[in-house]
Chain A
Amino acid sequence: MANLRDHMGRPIVAVTGIGVVTSLGVGKNDNWAALTSGRSGIHPITRFPVDHLNTRISGMVDFLPSSTKGASPLTYELAETAAQEAVSEAGLDSGDFGGPLFLASPPVELDWADRFSLYNSDKKDAGAERLLRVARALKELGIFETTQFGSIADRLADRFGTRGLPITLSTACASGATAIQLGVEAIQRGECDKALSIGADGSATAEALIRFSLLSALSTHNDIPEKASKPFSKDRDGFVLAEGSGALVLESLEAALARGATILGIMRGCGERADDFHRTRSKPDASPAIAAVRAALADAGMSEDEIDYVNAHGTSTPENDKMEHLSLSTVFGERIGSMPISSNKSMIGHTLSAAGAVEAAFSLMTMRESVIPPTINYDNPDPAIVLDVVPNKKRNAEVGSVLSNSFGFGGQNTCLVMAREPV
């Protein structure tokens, strides 16, 4: 009989359902097959014209009905699709979930297509004045709701019958991990015995791409798209903007066992630390990331020797990969050269608000399947970053525990520790 409480006396939190969508496909099976065969989902952009753009590739999800309908509809559909898979796998009622919802999703803005159509539906006056006048004559709420930060979660709450006021959050590129952390903490506090945590991002618009491009954050290796994302390589030149979603059903181990659910993994610990150095750059000594990793280990009640594999944030930007290496080598010491550390982003790109959730889903599957997905495009190792990145080919290995890192603009650092089995 497993312990039902952890080293701090809190309810142990299990994962009983997993859902995922990325540019590699819908659902765990398709994604896992692609990921473990080293296939990339990065492809040329076709959703909008690429004239004047320095980056013309992405990991957009182009195969859903909402893929051409704007960021809010696509983010909703991504979230719903992943959540449906997770809730079904958990064997729970997908219309009456009965626990809280934590949604990591991108900040919303009025879509340019809507901006253009509102503006050009009238000829009087100009600029904002015209938009406001046209707006107040609208007879339906469709466009309005795409601009409300709580609307996607509100619709998901209706769809899945989650309990209470849903929380929509952003911690930039760490958002997906924060959504999971909030669910774990709510169960640990005894507020609920299950929670639905989702990270979803369908916001790869032209404007989003241009904004990241202006910050020099994106790869411009357009010629061979599937080769553009190359975490930890010497010639890495930025991340690849991507879309996707990941959803986890979190449950107290006690409740999950009581209803005979299959335990897919255990959320052992979460850690975070904010960086006060710069809006986009990390403190040069990596101390906030180091502190976040250590906080997650301490929260899990585990020592660094007990981590079998690291699912890296590994964005493929010069800055992140260097900082992540520094933080991991500081925490794990000499062991760092021999422990497997791979980046899913080499194949799916950076799914931004979804990344932490997508990568937690893949981390759990890594443990269950005893297969570590590779870091592809590792043809030109960075001599300053000596890591076992599981280069280019998957590896069969027993993995009992995973550290998953998420770092984001605005000094966000969130780390999750997961385990295959209860203690």
Chain B
Amino acid sequence: MRKIKKSPDPQQPPMSSHDVVITGIGLVSSLGEGPDAHWQKLTQPGFQPVLEAERFAPYTIHPLPEIDWNLQIAKRGDQRQMETWQRLGTYVAGLALDDAGIKGNDELCTTMDMVVAAGGGERDEAVDAAILAASESRNDRDVLLNEKLTTELRPTLFLAQLSNLLAGNISIVHKVTGSSRTFMGEEGAGVSAVETAAARIRSGQSTHVLVGGAFQTEHSDMLLGYELAGYLHRGPWKPVWQRQGAEGGGVVTGSGGAFLVLEQREHAQSRGRKIYAELGPVVSGRARRRRGELNAEIAALLKQARLPDGDLLTISAASGAHAATAAEKAAFDANPALAARAFSTLTGHMKEAQFPFAVALAALAVDRKAGYPVFDATVERPFEGAPTSVLATAIGYHQFEGLGLVKAA
């Protein structure tokens, strides 16, 4: 029989509080891969984004950089079981695990918890297009669907589409098996994933957690997910803050991903790991935007985040979506201490990965004791000095909001 844990001292508080620190960062975007590449490019004043304006015209996107999948997904068989979205997420997760010195360490991987923010994987565009084309000349569309799907779908493609199979592939490829949870719901899923992971560590439910997400925009269905509400920006590319009034809805998407290793401070120290930064309060909300609550909600979240006094570098995940971005800009205008940097100007909008990406960039600035130059000189203002705290924001393009405060370790 297994031993049952003894009851604790009743005088002790039920859940002791632990600091949450960031010990691993994995990043991929059109700018490249890894913290160094991103730091180098994002701190180059006037750096120009990598754009692809032809392939999905009239939409511009920020494409994936060249990636050697073998570096993080050793088995070709594993690579073949995934489409690009899962491969990308598994790859970025591997970068974070490597960075934290966890990859390949059985003891640490089998006790590690995981929260992945995910949408869905890629459909077979050719099969869909053929069915749609045939639907023009047939009235028995339901029968058509059965006929085509039963004969033309690749059986294992289903697994490449399932939301929780990004986490499943991370377990298979990187052996992270303590637990596996997948949150869905666009930027909000990324916020909740980080918030839940941090809360688990603070309360002692977890010692180390892999958390993050990835988005692969180079697929028509991924664009359709925005465009059914007219959210995509059309016409010439502009920085995030300058898309109001331009053709389309303001969002320019990008492929990429961000994973973080969050860890209990004592746990990180006991294994002698480098700590990038501490993750302070993470707060989230759900404004009922149709009732005009967004501005008030952002203001309330800023209060809850217990911001330090003085100038505060703020890594914004603003999407460019007109209404949400205007509300976020209004919040910055009302809080002149916040020096915003909207990174999606340079990476594009990576949906579920937005908030983990923002937290990663905030942690890098704290760690390297320097801010980022303005990404858009017409709106963003300079920030001088070494930031000891950096705020990360994610105001969803359609719904859900969150903030997190990253502090010097």
Q: Is B8 an interface residue (CB 8 A)?
A: yes
Flag if B81 contacts A167 (CB, 8 Å): no
Query: Which residues in chain B, 183-202, are within 8 Å of chain A measured between CB atoms?
Result: 183-186, 188-189, 191-192, 196, 199-200, 202
Inter-chain CA distance A51–B146, complex, in Å, is 7
A172/B162 in contact, CB under 8 A: yes
In this assembly, does A138 line the interface, its C-beta being within 8 Å of a C-beta of chain B? yes
Q: State the CA gap A379–B123 with chains docked (Å).
A: 41
- A7 near B: Cβ within 8 Å? yes
Question: Is A149 touching B119 in the complex (CB atoms < 8 A)?
Answer: yes
Closest to B402 in A: A165
How many Å from the CB of B334 to the closest CB on chain A? 22
B172 touches A276 (CB 8 A): yes
Provide the A121-148 mask, 1 if CB < 8 A to any CB of B, else 0.
0000011111110011110010110011
Q: When A52-B147, A165-B188 are in contact, do A210 and B153 touch as well, CB less than 8 Å?
A: yes
In the bound complex, do residue A301 and residue B180 qualify as a contact, i.e. CB atoms below 8 Å apart?
A: no
Q: Is the CB of B4 within 8 A of A302?
A: yes
Query: A49–B143 contact, CB under 8 A?
Result: yes
A7 and B14 alpha carbons, distance in the complex (Å):
10
Residue numbers in A under 8 Å from B286 (CB-CB): 154, 157, 164-166
User: Which bracket fits the contact residues of A?
Assistant: 35 or more
Contact B229 A10, beta carbon cutoff 8 Å = no
Q: B200 to chain A: which residues have CB within 8 Å?
A: 185, 189
Q: Known contacts A164-B284, A178-B181, A288-B177: does B399 contact A9 (CB below 8 Å)?
A: no
A115–B40 CA distance with the chains assembled, in angstroms: 43
Give, as a whole number of angstroms, the nearest-CB distance from A185 to chain B: 6
- Take A110-B221, A127-B133 as given contacts and tell me if A297 and B182 are in contact as well, using a CB distance cutoff of 8 Å: no
Q: A48-B142, A215-B155 are in contact. Are A303 and B2 (CB under 8 A)?
A: yes
User: What is the bound-complex CA distance between A149 and B181, given in angstroms?
Assistant: 15
Pairwise interchain contact B15-A10, C-beta atoms closer than 8 A: yes
A154-B399, A411-B180 given; A135·B14 CB < 8 A: no
**In the assembled complex, A5 has its CB within 8 A of some CB on chain B:** yes
Which A residues from 146 to 189 make CB contacts under 8 A with B? Answer: 147-151, 153-154, 157-158, 164-172, 178, 182, 185, 188-189
Of A5, A128, A212, A215, the most chain B CB neighbours within 10 A belong to A128
Interface status of A59 (Cβ within 8 A of chain B): no
In chain A, what residue has the closest Cβ to B147? A52
Given contacts A144-B228, A148-B225, is CB(A167)–CB(B196) below 8 Å?
Answer: yes
**Pair B183/A167 contact, Cβ less than 8 Å:** yes
Q: How many residues of B contact A (CB 8 A)?
A: 93
Q: Complex Cα distance A141/B225, Å?
A: 12
CB 8 Å contact bits of B194-235 with A (1 = contact, 0 = none): 001001101101000000000000001101110111101000
Q: Which residues of B contact A214 (CB under 8 A)?
A: 150, 153, 155, 158
Q: Which residues of B contact A172 (CB under 8 A)?
A: 162, 164
A-contacting residues, B159-182, CB 8 Å: 159, 161-165, 167-169, 171-172, 175-182
* List of A residues within 8 angstroms of B59 by Cβ: 132
Shortest distance between the CB of B211 and any CB in chain A (Å): 14
Asked if A350 lies at the interface with its beta carbon under 8 angstroms from chain B, I say no
Q: How far is the CA of A170 from the CA of B132 in the complex (A)?
A: 29
Interface residues of B in 4-22 (CB under 8 A from A): 4-8, 10, 12-15
B71 at the interface (CB under 8 A from A): no
Cβ 8 A contact of B220, one of A7, A128, A408: A128
Contact B164 A277 (CB under 8 A): no
Does B75 make an interface contact (CB < 8 A)?
Answer: no
A298 at the interface (CB under 8 A from B): yes
Tell me if B185 and A126 are in contact (CB < 8 A).
no
Partner-contacting stretch, out of A224-232, A267-275, A309-317, A319-327: A267-275
Whether the Cβ atoms of A168 and B185 lie closer than 8 Å is yes
A154 to B401, CA, bound (A): 12
A211, closest chain B residue (CB): B158
Determine whether the beta carbon of B8 is less than 8 Å from that of A165: no
In the bound complex, CA of A139 to CA of B321 (Å): 17
Check A191 for interface membership: any CB of B closer than 8 A.
Answer: yes
Interface status of A108 (Cβ within 8 A of chain B):
yes
As a 0/1 sequence over residues 105 to 128 of chain B, the CB contacts with chain A under 8 angstroms (1 = contact) are 000000000100011100101001
Answer yes or no: A412 CB below 8 A from chain B CBs: yes
Within 8 A of B (CB), among A260-318: 272-280, 288, 294, 297-298, 301-305
Chain A contacts with B in 93-109, Cβ cutoff 8 A = 105, 107-109
Of B155, B221, B400, B402, the contact of A150 (CB 8 Å cutoff): B400
Q: Is B177 in contact with A189, judged by CB distance below 8 angstroms?
A: no
B1 at interface (Cβ–Cβ under 8 A)? Answer: yes
A8 cross-chain contacts in B, Cβ below 8 A: 5, 7-8, 14
Cβ B224 vs Cβ A131 within 8 A: yes
In the complex, chain A residues 4-18 whose Cβ is within 8 Å of any chain B Cβ: 5, 7-11
Knowing A116-B141, A214-B155 are in contact, say whether A170-B15 is a contact too (CB < 8 A). no
| Contact in complex: A301, B4 (CB < 8 Å) | yes
Counting CB contacts under 8 A, is A37 at the interface?
no
Residue B103 at the chain A interface, CB threshold 8 Å: no
Q: Interface centre among A131, A137, A157, A294, by most B CB within 10 Å?
A: A131
What residues on B are CB-neighbors of A73 within 8 Å?
none
Cβ-defined partner of A169 (8 Å) among B162, B182, B186, B191: B182
Chain B residues, Cβ within 8 Å of A148: 185-186, 225, 398-399
Question: Are B158 and A109 neighbours in the complex by a CB distance under 8 Å?
Answer: no
Chain A contacts of B151 at CB under 8 A? 52
CB-based contact A280/B159 at 8 Å: yes
- Give the residues from 399 to 414 in chain A that come closer than 8 angstroms, CB to CB, to chain B: 408-412
Report whether B146 and A298 are in contact in the complex, using a CB–CB cutoff of 8 Å: no
- 6 more CB-based (< 8 A) A-B contacts, given A105-B184, A274-B177: A49-B142, A127-B133, A128-B128, A131-B132, A138-B230, A279-B81
Q: List 10 A-B contacts (CB under 8 A).
A: A109-B221, A127-B132, A136-B232, A154-B400, A157-B286, A168-B183, A189-B205, A273-B179, A274-B114, A297-B2
Give chain B's interface residues, CB within 8 Å of chain A.
Answer: 1-2, 4-8, 10, 12-15, 59, 81, 114, 118-120, 123, 125, 128-129, 132-133, 135-136, 140-143, 145-147, 149-151, 153, 155-156, 158-159, 161-165, 167-169, 171-172, 175-186, 188-189, 191-192, 196, 199-200, 202-203, 205, 220-221, 223-225, 227-230, 232, 248, 284-286, 288, 398-402
Which A positions have Cβ atoms within 8 angstroms of B? 5, 7-11, 48-54, 105, 107-110, 112, 115-116, 119-120, 126-132, 135-138, 141, 143-144, 147-151, 153-154, 157-158, 164-172, 178, 182, 185, 188-191, 206-207, 210-215, 272-280, 288, 294, 297-298, 301-305, 408-412
By Cβ-Cβ distance, the 10 closest A-B pairs, closest first, are: A410-B168, A150-B185, A128-B220, A149-B184, A144-B228, A127-B129, A214-B155, A274-B180, A144-B229, A165-B284
